Every structure is written in structure tokens, then in C-alpha cells.
Amino acid sequence: MGYSLMAKQKRLTQKPVVERPDIAVSIVGFFMLYGVIRFWIMWASAFHGLNLLQKYDSRAPDYWQKQKRPLGSLDFNAVWHAVIVPNYKEPLVKLRQTLDTIAYQSIAKQIVVCMAMEARDPKAKETAEILQQEYAHKLGGLCYAIHEVKEGEVAGKSSNENWAARCVKKLMVDRMRINPDYIVITTCDADTFFHPNQFACLTHHFICDGDNRYHRFYIPVTNFMPNVCHVPGICSTRYTVLSIGRMAELGCPISNPFPLAIYSLPLRLAERACYWDPSVIPEDWHMYFRCVFADHGKVACTRMMITVGTEAVEGKGYLDTVKECYDQSVRWQWGAVDFGYLLVQSVCNWKVPLAKRISLLFTAYDHHLLVVVMCVALITAPFLYGKIPVLFNLDFITGQQDLVALKDVMIWTWVVHCIFHYIFMCFSDYSLRTSVLKDRLYFDVSPNHMGVFSRALQLLLFPFADFFLFVVPTIHAHTKLFISSSFNYVPSAKMGCRLTGGSKADDKV
């Protein structure tokens, strides 16, 4: 045994690979440990989140009205919702689909929709008036705001929302005489498919939060799967992983989730932050940070365990869709520019508790930088430091020891966790498509379109999807940001012409 151990040690250490192998092993070991812990927390949270989504998926019109609330709470019918739908040259049929899911709400008459149009769109006014005529009578109201890009503003969702929110305030408070304390603003995308009880659930949480309601963001579980059966396998797998990841993030009790694309906040809080920043493109995180510092750190997120859908990008063909998916991933990672804003505000705003500032910085760093660095480190480590020997105590009773190459340790760790990841992902995907997303308006996720075996084969693409549609676009985006922080806002490609979900809007609305 002694001779065998010495021979293996001589073979593994006959040529030095790095000057300080102990430091290399420590760094790789840190990333491996962090990755393993993060993996199991994520999947435990994903299953918990899935259970909560199934629990609160009731589509009965009076489900949330019947839930218990603190004694002396606001009247359920007193809360009004302003839904801002920013859009630019979107197909009329796509906007109709979004409005269909709003008109189908159990409290549709408590909702005022504002179509946030851009003056750059020559058909903006015509489109808005058509939609106003078709949907105003189905809701509490439907108005439109036409935004002209002014000097110092950047064309994009944030500047559009900034103008629309101010118009909504004039309409609902100044003209309709609604108490601004009872107005909740929701911002979404042009292809957002709401759960039929989305706004009833939001009303319930808003009332139950008591006096803290004016310091809250309300975030549902964003799901990117309405059309996953109609995009290339690598894109479908990527959007499925994103959907499960968001479900896990909101299902994790120790996470610190930030708003993502579709979120709600009280009108009072938006006013306190002077609405959205018209000079930036990334708007969800930026608005959240803006509100946190304007409110001296009192702002937090209330999780609504209810799904809201937004479509995967879909181009004109296979390769065009893959390209659009890649470009969207790059644009999402441009949000890292908010880290500089967050860092400056954290240094300057001492009224925000230190723990809050550190939590925000770590979460932002983890999302945009640490995860990618970890992935790159774990991918390259076996090739750079794979020959470094690692001493293992394989038997705690006899004290037997053995030397193993770092590469072997990492490969076996990868294999074990990839197998578990694949099994868990197949189970979560099937559970979502057959329960939570089943029969949802404009969700085409039925197993009838793709057999269980075919879908399982498709999900085997997850390593390639993660690498080519997450790691590479992140490096691309950060490299561009390193060179220049100026970039143009480009809306994602969406088909906008497919009626999905097995039932047409006219059958439900």
C-alpha cells in the first residue's frame, strides 16, 4: 500500500504544473463548494416553489376575495390597478393577446390599462385607438400615452414608462378622483400573459401588507414557456431553465429576489422615486434600486407565487430564432451597468442600512458576475490545473489515504450533478406543463404537442444552452460594456400571430 501511494504520488507530481498548487486548489475548491451548495439549495427551492404555485393556482373568480385578511383591512374593491403596457411597433394581434389576459381578470373592472406608445411609431395613435375601442368597456378603463423622446432621454422601456406613469396619475387621481393611496402600478411587456387571478392576488397581498404596502414591490413568478414547443430545442431548453430558475428564486426563503420585467408597486412609491429614470435602458432593477434609495432602504419585495407568462423570442426561422435568443441574452446582461449605479448610491446614501446595501451589492454581483466566473472557472480548471494531486482520506476508521488528480474529482462531481440536474429538470418541466400552465390562455405547452420522450431528449441540450446562450453572451455583453456603455434598445422578435393555449380569447373573455 505504501509503495502504491508513493508511486502514484511520483507519477502525479513528476512535473510541476503551477507555482502554488495549494492556492489553485483552494480557489477551485471554493467554486466547487459554492456551486454544489447553490445547486442543492436551488433545487430544494424549485420544488418548494412548484408546490406553492400548484397550491395558489386556483382560477375560481372569488378565490382571493375569500381569503382571510387582518381585521380592519382595506375594502377589496377599493384597490385600483394601473397596468402600463410599453410597446413599440408591436403587432396588433400580440397586443390583443396581452389585453385579453387582462380583460379576463376576475377584477377586470378595477383595472385601468395605459397603452404606452412611442411617437416614433407612425401607427401608434391608430393602434391605440383601435385597442381602446375594443377593450375599454371590458375594463375599468383604457387610455394611451404617446411618448416623445426628449433631450437627455434614451429611447426604451424606462423612458416610456416614466411618461406613461405620469399620465396615469393625471387620469386616475386628478380626473377620476381615485385615492392615490389605493392605486397600484403594474408594468409589463407587450407579450405578457397574466394568470386570471393575477390582480386579485396582488390586491390581497397589497391589503395584507398593511402600512408596509407603500414600501413594497410585488413580483410574480415570471415564466418564459408559453411557446417553448415552437422554438428550436436549444432555445426551448434555455427558456425552460430560466423559468425553473425564477421559480426557485422566489421559492427560496433565504433569497433576495429583484423584479424581473413584470412587477407592481404602489403609486406612492413611484412618486417618491420620481418615477422611472428616462436616461437608462435597463429598467426593472434600476427602478427597484431607485426606490430603495429614495425610501431610505425600507423597500422590499413581496413574492406572489402565481405565474405570469412572457414569450420566448421567435424569429423567422431556426437560425434566426437562435440568433435572436443570443441577442436577447446579451441585452439582459447589459443590466450589469446598474451595478455601477448601485455601487455609487451605496457609497453616497448612508441613510440606507449597511446590511441592506451589502445585500443588494452581493445579489447584483452574484447574478451578473459571480455565477459566470464560477462557470468559466469550473470549465477551464481541469485543463489548467487538472494534474494537481489532491489527498483524500477515503476511510476515516483505518486512516487510509489516496491521491487523486483534481481533474478526476471535478469530472465525477460534474457527472453526478449533471445527472441529478437533468432528472430534476425533466420532472419540473413536466409538472409545470401538466398542472400550473395547463389550459392557460395563450400557453401552448400541452404534452400532446411534444411527447414525454421527445421533450426529455430535447432537455439533454441544457449544457449547450447554458454555455452558448448564457455564459458566452454574458462575456460578450461585459466586454462591450468594458469598451463602451452606449447601446441601442432593440425589441425582441416575437411571432405575434399564433393563438395558443387550446382556446381562443373570444371563448373566455
Cα(205)–Cα(103) distance, rounded to whole angstroms?
21
Q: Are 233 and 464 in contact (CB under 8 A)?
A: no
Helix (H, G, I), strand (E, B) or coil at 2: helix
Look at the pTM and tell me if it is higher than 0.85: yes
| Residue 442 falls in which region: left (phi positive, over 0), alpha (psi -120 to 50) or beta | left
CA separation for the pair 458, 447 (Å, rounded): 13
SS3 content of the chain, % helix, strand, coil (to 5): 55, 10, 30
Place of cell 395547463: 438
Distance CA 358, CA 365 (A): 10
What is the structure's pLDDT at 392? 59
- CA-CA distance, 9 to 393, in Å (whole number)? 15
Q: Smallest Cα–Cα separation from 227: which of 444, 465, 31? A: 444
Provide the residue type at 481 as one letter: L
**φ, ψ dihedrals at 106, nearest 5°:** -65, -20
- What residues contact 38, with CB distance under 8 A and at least 6 apart? none
Q: Are strands 216-223 and 192-193 parallel, antiparallel or unpaired?
A: unpaired
Helix-helix angle 92-103:124-135, to 10 degrees: 30
For residue 404, count other CB atoms closer than 10 A to its CB.
15
Query: Which residue is associated with the grid cell 412572457?
Result: 310
Q: C-alpha cell of 380?
A: 477551464
DSSP assignment of 277-310, as one string? -TT-S--HHHHHHHHHHHTTT--EEEEEEEEEEE
Where exactly are the structural domains of the chain? 1-509
For residue 221, the SS3 value is strand
Contact of 421 with 462, CB cutoff 8 Å: yes
How many helices and strands (H and E) does the chain possess? Answer: 17, 10
- Provide the b/e sequence for 376-386 (b: ≥16 CB within 10 Å): ebbeebbeebb
Straight-line distance from the first to the last Cα atom of the chain, in angstroms, rounded to the nearest whole number = 77
Residue 395: per-residue pLDDT:
61
Letter for the amino acid at 44? A
Q: Cβ neighbours of residue 170 under 8 Å, at least 6 residues apart?
A: none
Contact 405, 383 (CB under 8 A): no
Q: Which CATH architecture has domain 1-509?
A: Alpha-Beta Complex (3.90)
Contact 83, 186 (CB under 8 A): yes
User: Quick one: cell of 152?
Assistant: 437627455
The DSSP annotation for 337-392 comes to HHHHHHHHHHHH-TTS-HHHHHHHHHHHHIIIIIHHHHHHHHHHHHHHHTT-EEEE
One-letter identity of residue 211? D
**Adjacent-strand bridge partners of 184:** 81, 266
Continuous H helices in 182-254: 198-208, 233-251
| In 14-156, alpha helices (H) | 21-55, 92-103, 124-135
DSSP code at position 14: S
| pLDDT at site 400 | 65
Mean pLDDT by 10 residues, the chain (509 residues): 48 53 77 89 97 94 93 94 95 95 97 96 95 96 95 91 96 95 96 96 97 96 94 96 96 94 97 95 92 96 96 92 94 88 93 95 89 81 71 60 73 90 96 94 82 92 94 91 73 58 42
Sole residue written with cell 422601456: 157
